[in-house]
Structure 1
């Protein structure tokens, strides 16, 4: 069963610059998908009101192998 997630690109001043809504089957799958956005900077991953993780670009690029790609839903 898929759950709704959002990946927020965080600017240097700590303010969200953009967001990407997507669906994933688990937190791990959501994090794997959100890692692609870290090439633009720090990314916060949320599932509704629950913060999953903060990804820094130096931790997650180049992207890791993904077993299954979540469904992207743009809003």
Structure 2
């Protein structure tokens, strides 16, 4: 059984810029589908009135500083 979801593209000011309606069989499937939109910016995933998650944009993940890995010798 599938459920209705929406992926909202969130602008820098926090206002929804656009939305994509889709169906998925579970929350995890919906998140996997919505992840494709993160190349455009931050995405909020909703199932009716229930917020599932906020997915950060690919660009913000690329700009995060990498932490050095400590190795023991």
Off by >2 Å, runs of 4+ in structure 1:
58-61
Please state how far the C-alpha of 1:60 moved relative to its aligned partner.
7.6
CA distance in 1, matches of 2:26, 2:53: 13
- Superposition TM-score, scaled by structure 2 size: 0.79
- Total equivalences in the alignment: 61
Higher relative contact order (CA 8 A, sep 6+): 1
Within a 5 Å distance, the mapping from 1:15-34 to structure 2 comes to 15-34=15-34
In our comparison, the structure showing a higher alpha carbon Rg is 2
Unaligned runs of 5+ in 2: 63-73
Q: Give the aligned CA root-mean-square deviation in angstroms.
A: 1.8
- Superposition TM-score, scaled by structure 1 size: 0.77
Please state how far the C-alpha of 1:57 moved relative to its aligned partner.
1.7
Unaligned runs of 5+ in 1: 62-75
SS of equivalent to 1:28 = helix
